[in-house]
Amino acid sequence: MLLNMDSLTQTEVFADILGSELLAGSLLINIALAGLTLLAIVYLARDVEDTRSKAIILSAMLISVVSISSYTGLLSGVTVSYLEMPAGHALAGEEVMSMWGRYLTWAFSTPFILIALGMLARSDKVTIGTSVAFTIAMNVTGLAAALTTSSVVLRWFWYVLSSVFFLVIVYIILNTWTKEAEEAGTSDIFGKLKILTIITWFGYPVVWFLGVEGMAYLPEVWMSSWAYSLLDVVAKYVVTILIVQYVAKGHDAVTGGDDYGSV
Binding site for ligand RET (CB under 6 A): 67, 103, 106, 109-110, 138-139, 142, 145, 159, 162-163, 166, 201, 204-205, 208, 232, 235-236
State the minimum distance, in angstroms, from the CB of residue 202 to ligand RET. Answer: 7
Distance separating alpha carbons of residues 47 and 70, to the nearest angstrom: 29
Query: In the beta sheet, which residues pair with residue 210?
Result: none
Q: Which is nearer to ligand RET, 202 or 260 (CB)?
A: 202
Other beta carbons within 10 angstroms of residue 4's beta carbon come to 9
Of 119 and 144, the one with the shorter C-beta distance to ligand RET is 144
- Rounded CA separation 110/60 (Å): 10
Least separation in angstroms between CB 143 and ligand RET: 7
Report the run of H or E that residue 53 belongs to, with start and end.
helix 51-76
Q: Least distance from C-beta 109 to ligand RET, angstroms?
A: 4
* Shortest Cβ 194–ligand RET spacing (Å): 13
Cβ nearer to ligand RET, comparing 95 with 232: 232
Q: Which residues pair with 84 in a beta bridge?
A: 95
* Alpha-carbon span 235 to 98, nearest angstrom: 22
Residue of closest CB approach to ligand RET: 142
Give the nearer residue to ligand RET in terms of CB position, either 92 or 167.
167
Q: Cβ closer to ligand RET: 8 or 115?
A: 115
- DSSP secondary structure string for all residues of 54-91: HHHHHHHHHHHHHHHHHHHHHHHTTT-EEEEPPTTSTT
Min dist CB 113 to ligand RET, Å, is 6
